[in-house]
Amino acid sequence: MTVTGMTHERLLELIAAYGAEPMGWPEDERDAARALLSADPGAYSQALTEARAVDAVLSLEDVPEPSAALTESILAAAPSVPQSRTGLLSGLAALMFPQGVRWPAGAALASLAMGLVGGYAYASTGIGYDQADSAYYSAFGFDSGDAWISLE
């Protein structure tokens, strides 16, 4: 039996893994599990009784506080925060890359720079309008300006 994607077996797995209390179940499966549970509560009564017994035993145990030595060793092994650099380049990098320098941002910046340099180099060569128009027509798949004009 399936109610909103939840199967009988999956609900039994949730009860066994997370206990009898639905608030402990994964949030994305909780509503579907509750719907299936309310559709046939008798089918899950034994599993819920066993899970409640385990939950009761676990609630009796005190969770020990970690020792100071353990806490210090974990903090010592944790990666350190990189030192922030000051200066014009680091300020510019922080402005351009607020999330940190990453490959996609670097690739986008490189392609922008290549486009600007290529565009400037093409414009500064003094190519006449006829040659530029011919380049545009070729780029868009037309043999001559006549085919382009017919589209207007």
Q: Give pLDDT tens digits for 67-113.
A: 999 999 998 898 876 666 677 777 777 777 666 666 566 778 888 88
State the pLDDT confidence band at 5, using cuts at 50, 70 and 90.
confident
Distances (CA, A) of 121 to 74, 111, 116, 126: 56, 15, 8, 10
Provide CB contacts within 8 A for 105, sequence distance 6+: 96, 97, 99
Confidence (pLDDT) at 120 = 75
**CB-based contact 7:32 (threshold 8 Å):** no
Confidence (pLDDT) at 145 = 53
More confident residue, 12 or 130: 12
Residue where a domain terminates, one of 38, 60, 82: 60
**CB-based contact 71:39 (threshold 8 Å):** no
Does residue 137 lie in a domain region? yes
Helix (H, G, I), strand (E, B) or coil at 99: coil
Q: What is the pTM of this model?
A: 0.42
Confidence (pLDDT) at 118 = 82
Cα–Cα distance between 129 and 51 in angstroms, integer?
A: 81
Does residue 71 lie in a domain region? no
- 6 and 56 together in one domain: yes
Provide CB contacts within 8 A for 25, sequence distance 6+: 14, 18, 33
Does residue 81 lie in a domain region? no
Structural domain including 117 reads 98-149
Does residue 115 carry a pLDDT above 80? yes
> Vertex 37, ends 34 and 42: CA angle to 5°?
160
Confidence (pLDDT) at 41 = 85
Does residue 9 lie in a domain region? yes
Tell me how many domains the chain contains: 2
Distance from the Cα of residue 95 to its chain's centroid: 23
Does residue 14 carry a pLDDT above 90? yes
Q: What does the pLDDT average to over 8-33?
A: 91
